[in-house]
Structures are given as structure tokens and as C-alpha cells.
Amino acid sequence: MIQYHRATPKLNAALQDSQEKFSLFRREKALFDLPATADSIADRAEPVQFSPLHYVSGNPIVEPVPDHLRQAVFGLGCFWGAERLFWQLPGVFSTAVGYAGGITGNPRYEDVCSGRTGHTEVVLVFYDPATVSFQTLLGAFWESHDPTQGMGQGNDRGSQYRSAIYTVGDEQLQQAKQGKVQFQAALRDSNYAEITTEIMPLGEFYYAEGYHQQYLAKNPDGYCSLAGTGACYAPAKADT
């Protein structure tokens, strides 16, 4: 015979607690799983607002830029510290932070934080290849974070903090993939796990809100999560 249990305050509280834990589990899972298109946040109609000029250099962070410049896009955790890393390199014309690798068009920061856009936080770098090579940028990228951490970086957890290189052109794609192999060997020597960096051609780059742009120049004591592994990036001589 089936026995039915009368609801009691204690039972109701237990059920509510169970439902809240399941809801929390689903929200946390969404942060670490890339969404399907059907589950992603719908496109925003308008892009975010930001200054077109770099707060530090005064150079433009949007096209048009001088014809001799090239672009590179990197994700290595929270984009505040990552952007400062690159704008300080000689030969870098300007930088901007934004979102890439996902689905939702014109996302807002809160959209990306939900895990339902598929985007990761990235830095767009405009650089002069006559002064700084893509290999030098790769070296700064590999050595300044831990690319083995999957969906997160340090204390920042979730798909928006995943390691990524979004390439512009076949040459960048080839060098990024070769660099991954070379840096993996260095990491193994230090007993690190496999690299989880996402390497693929750049789709759409969406600029982040103005208050994120050059954040650590505006807030010198602000949060910076960059921390490398101690391994050194040494590209093959043919790639330098």
C-alpha cells in the first residue's frame, strides 16, 4: 500500500531547501557550460557606449586606425589586468576590452556574467608588427596566466574567464596552435595539466561598456587577477 505523508512545516522547509539548492546548482552549471543557441540570451538591439579614444595613449580603440596596424584578440581571465598587460608593451598602438567567442549580439556585462551568452572577456590589441611581433604578444599571453584552468582563472570562475586566442588570419592561427604545443611542453616540465585554451578564428568582437575600458588606468588600485605559472614561452626559431 502506498503511504502518503502529510506536509509539515519541517517537511516543507526541507523541500524548499532542496529546491533552492537545485536552483543554485542549475545557475552555477550555467556559468560553466557554454549555452546552446536556443538557450542563449537574445541579441541586444544597440551596442554599449564607450569612448573611442584610449584613456592612456589617446589613440583610437575603434577602426579606422593606421593601415599598417594589425589586430589580435586574447582572453586570459578578468580583462582589466589583461588589458593593462598589453597596452604597456612597446609597439602596441591601443587596446580595448570586450566580449568574443559567444552567441549573443551586443551583450551587456551582466549578460556575459550570467553564462548565457557564450562569450569570454577579451582584449583587442592594435599593434605595429614592425615593432612588436605576434609571437611577442603570444609570449605575454602564455606567461601571464594559467591556461590549464578550464572555465575560470584564479578566483574568477565561469566560462567568461576561460583562456582564449581568437585569431585574425591563417598566420596567427598557425602560430597560436604551434605556440600551444610549445608552451604545453614547458608546462609539463612544471607538472601542470593540459592546456584548455580555446584557439579559433575571431568571429565578432563586441566592445565592453565604457567603465571597463582601461579600467586599471582609471582605478590604479583596482582588482587585477593576472598570475602566471612561472613557465617560459620559447617559440621555435622559425616562428620568431
Rounded Cα distance, 85 and 144, in Å: 8
Asked if the bond preceding 35 is cis, omega within 30° of 0, the reply is no
Q: What is the DSSP letter of 100?
A: E
**Phi and psi at residue 208, in whole multiples of 5°?**
-80, 170
Which sign, positive or negative, has the C-alpha torsion 75, 80, 81, 86?
A: positive
**Three-state secondary structure call for residue 72:** strand
Please say whether the beta carbons of 61 and 54 come within 8 A.
Answer: yes
User: Is-catalytic flag, 78?
Assistant: yes
Q: Which of 78, 113, 224, 232 is catalytic?
A: 78
Rounded Cα distance, 215 and 221, in Å: 10
Helices (H) and strands (E) in the chain, counts: 6, 8
* Catalytic residue set: 78
